[in-house]
Amino acid sequence: MTGQPLIGVTTYSTRARWGGVWDRHCSLLPTAYARYVQRAGGLMVLLPPDNPALAGAVAERLDGLVLAGGEDLDPALYGERPHPRTAAPVPERDRWELALLAAALERGVPLLGICRGMQLMNVHAGGTLNQHLPETVGHKGHNPRVGDFADHLVEPVAGTVTAHLMPAPCDVATHHHQGVGKVGPGLIASAHAEDGTVEALEYPWGQGCFAVGVQWHPEMRDDLRLVRGLVEMAGRRRGRSAAPAAGG
């Protein structure tokens, strides 16, 4: 490997206020994501919403990709009407990240989906979402305090990439009211909560890429195992792209 692998992280697209006077639409990301990638040895770059036609060009330049958390996906993407508790969609972000995800999978760019990012992976694969989990699981344990992260136990599925990186049940930081409904074709559930909620998805190793999504927020805790797995695979990709051609 030559140099740090370049890890792109998608951003929120929302209104923000700062400095006591400014109120503007922004592309932004909590600092925890940057620190999460940097602590694992990655070189982080922000990927705000852009023209979906440019997703391939962006993916070509990346060694790895993180699909960040954020706003609810548009239910129309998986053929449903909005639930009363589903927030207004952000179409420019949905279009951009779906194109970026497709481009990364096509090129074998290692990727990690976080919360919304995992849900995006499932919808892209043809799966659906449960638009309001409390109605299904009968409790608010996945999002007990709006605006704050809580912890609950997840158990990885043996034989998966997720279990390879996190072999034992552990507590994770959670803040989500939606979850996986039908798992998209080609994906496998690789971790569950105690109530049966799918907490991680991935494409099997046989697909030829590292593509893991988790419903929790690993960037909010000190556990770097997932992002180290991503950065390691991104470093291998960078090493291959930097290697001279045979006979060169």
| Positions marked catalytic | 115, 217, 219
Measure the CA–CA gap between 129 and 180, rounded to whole angstroms.
5
Residue 111 · residue 230 · CB < 8 Å: yes
Measure the CA–CA gap between 211 and 112, rounded to whole angstroms.
6
Q: Please state, as a whole number, how many other Cβ atoms lie within 10 Å of the Cβ of residue 122.
A: 26
Q: What interhelical angle do 225-242 and 31-39 show, nearest 10?
A: 60
Task: List beta partners, residue 214.
Answer: 114, 200
Q: Please state, as a whole number, how many other Cβ atoms lie within 10 Å of the Cβ of residue 113.
A: 28
Measure the CA–CA gap between 67 and 211, rounded to whole angstroms.
11
End-to-end CA distance of the chain: 18
The tokens for 89 are 């969609």
The tokens for 210 are 């590292």
Exposed / middle / buried, residue 39 (Cβ in 10 Å: 0-12, 13-18, 19+): middle
